[in-house]
A and B are shown apart, each in its own frame.
Chain A
């Protein structure tokens, strides 16, 4: 009997070793079950005193072989996995990546944040006149602050390309009464030769909040909060005295440098700060010009958006924003 078991064992082992596919293994398994049946039937015919030892031998054989089969099955499954015809690391070219321009992307982040705060969005024309762009913003024709915004003209001195979106705010005030909270995003133009760090047009997001009780502390909140929501709570914001003809008091807004996190680097000229916006309480002369009472209170701010997307997406030259090299935008 022991000899018989050994023979069967040997026979099955040979077959098992040659099993390299599920169907072959299945055949081995069914022969194994047949052999087991045979052995147990044979055992029953033995005298009682032999039954015990033979039974133990058969059971050992069964256990050992079941383990071996399981091991081979595992091996075969793994082999099947690694040699599948489907290579899931290959994307087909079916779905193409569409992208939104970096300036618009960052602009929309600001728009979304201000909308969450309750601001409405106001638009206005890019071809403007002197009245909306300068006169009504407390900048009469002789005002030296006009030098800050070298202007393109279509008809001198009356018709021009807006040098800021503050003229949208003027138009809005001419048509609406307070209280209101608006932002005016858009393209503005200034005479600036194109070179790596200058372009003759750029994006602004200006804000205007007019209503009773509005103060400089509210302005600080709105600007600080938008920086934290767009860029992250770790960014600090600094206000320092500044001058704009259309606001008084006026403030310059710096935020912690995006590149170095405020430690000081080449981008921020070692200061840890980047000038990102101008702001202030709206000048009574502006309110008077649009037909409001001089006692009206409100604040205004203006983000220059070209630099922020450059830093956000690590674009090294400003003019690249308008050169539209598609291989760059594809990486966005």
Chain B
């Protein structure tokens, strides 16, 4: 972000500026106008500047961009001509300057003696600083901020009388404490650039100053520092210390080394004009010679047009680049030698130059062209299955929900999940929003139960909801030690079929519906599954939960949520009906080809049998007894289960429908009766199951 006064920009321009035109150009070039403050005769405009264009973080930069749109290729020279020469003798100032870090690219320093900092900052400076959102402190400090906003060069000014001995710039060898001007104590990471004198740390280079060399109204002698520090160390230090200032914001994005000396000179001129004093005609300059010469590269016309999908000619390309202050040279009508202006630190490759051509040409002038590319298409089975499951669920009257991938830190305790279970989660986020969003979910159960209860608290008690999403778990030998799977989960509770229209009494969801749902969904994939009752998970009521196995592998689980688990949730007491839950991983599901196995020309006979079954004996255990009794039994399906009046304790009454058919003939009643006899006696022998009379 950069905020500036329009009148200031206008005053620095050598041509007449137009406010509306400026805003339009900035907008077209992707510098979004974040805000405009209206001061009547002036406007403070704040623009969004992306990380690649730190050169736009100054009035000079915005003016250059405006000129680019106007095709005027030169802005005024802000550097005053002063009789100061810079040299590498580090003892020309009252304090010796010792640079011993590779992270310093430039360090220029000038000394002024005998300044009077007791006066008032001139109105025009105050006005421009205030509109740019910078507080006014005292004339010298205000001038340093002014220069930063004017040309983008951060300036630091020391009170020379408060510095004890040499000024040293070095990387700290170990984490170091530092107290800032704002009196907050920060810890600098190893390698941070610290400026110190013989006794005290003075400032964190390019980021923030300390109290020791602070410039105040009483200050008489000053050393102006206009330097250039490496963007990486500036970024790392600023991030680690959580200190971001106007200076650090610019340094971490990149400041041109070419503005170090101009920055110092503008400061000297303004300060001596406003506060008096005499400057030292010899300044100190340390340089590591990075980016001293203008950078050049060759870009071809072919590459430009092939990347943009345009048909631009050399003169046009060169004009666009020249308007952006690039110099161009082209002798052969194809290869363009481009010289990059010193303030454009973002131009490293030919594509960066091509973007300049593209934006000056105007993206709106590039005509859309259909893609002419043959790329092989591959179906994504997870995507396909997810959508198939969704569509089936919609058909079943379920509503899809989406919950966050992170759940409360204590959710495993709430769900009573045992810590040795595969579905126990312990992957925590280091910087969660709060402990409510701390744990990467090991299952979708928390999200669906809390969604259900939240809806019950607004009076919605009959619910059928589902979610398709990821569950996360640890896996030592996998990538970074984490893995995740796409899972499907459904929750149902309350009335499934209300009374009326032939139904005598509300029919409510029970755990059997979770089984039925699983059966319906997996049937679509022709997948045979097995449910093994288990209390391992802890989330289900004892005896009412089980694991789902396919091909010997556990893919999920289902059951009736333990009412005690529901009570762990806020408003959990609102859940008065059974809550049935189903979750399974659907990765690897495949719709295999299937054929219809049974197609008979003769009518089937169906019979229903009401059995008395001891609890703990499961349908999948005893139903083979029936099926295996004869080839004419083609289907055995449970129709109802019932416990209560008329059923002895420890037993369940199960209604089972058996379908008899022979594809070659019509069946006789005697034949059916004899088959019945076979399975009735085998049921009774093997499982103690009898017909309920």
Contacts and interface: CB of A to CB of B under 8 A. Distances in A.
Contact of A241 (B30, B455, B458, B481): B30
Interface of A, helix, strand, loop or mixed by DSSP: mixed
A148 B51 CA distance: 9
A327 B372 contact: no
A127 B359 contact: no
A327 B460 contact: yes
A209 B307 contact: no
Contacts of A243: 30, 50-53
A94 B405 contact: no
Interface string B432-465: 1100010010000000000100110010100111
Which bucket holds chain B's interface residue count?
Answer: 35 or more
B402 A322 contact: yes
Interface string A171-202: 00000000111000101010101100000110
A118 B375 contact: yes
A284 interface: yes
Interface string B284-319: 000000000000000000000011111000000000
Interface in B374-405: 374-380, 382-383, 387, 390, 393-405
A189 B405 contact: yes
Interface stretch (A51-59, A150-158, A260-268): A150-158
26 contacts: A93-B497, A93-B500, A96-B397, A99-B399, A120-B376, A121-B380, A127-B427, A127-B480, A142-B235, A152-B430, A161-B429, A217-B369, A218-B368, A218-B370, A238-B364, A240-B29, A242-B50, A243-B30, A243-B50, A245-B51, A249-B351, A250-B355, A297-B306, A297-B307, A325-B458, A326-B455
B15 interface: no
A191 B482 contact: no
B479 interface: yes
Nearest to A215: B309
B326 interface: no
Interface stretch (A30-38, A81-89, A219-227): A219-227
Contacts of B430: 152-156
Contacts of B253: 144
Given A142-B232, A158-B480, A220-B369, 16 more contacts: A99-B400, A104-B402, A120-B375, A154-B427, A154-B429, A156-B431, A181-B373, A217-B309, A218-B309, A221-B368, A239-B364, A241-B359, A241-B363, A243-B53, A324-B401, A326-B460
A221 B373 CA distance: 13
B429 A249 contact: no
Which bucket holds chain A's interface residue count?
Answer: 35 or more
Interface string A83-108: 00000000011111111110110001
Interface centre among B51, B406, B464, B498 (most CB of A within 10 A): B51
A97 B462 CA distance: 13
Interface in B480-504: 480-484, 497-498, 500-501
Q: Which 6 A-B pairs have the closest CB atoms?
A: A217-B309, A96-B397, A98-B394, A243-B50, A249-B355, A215-B309
Contacts of B401: 101, 324, 326, 329
Contacts of B484: 125-127
Contacts of B380: 120-123
A24 interface: no
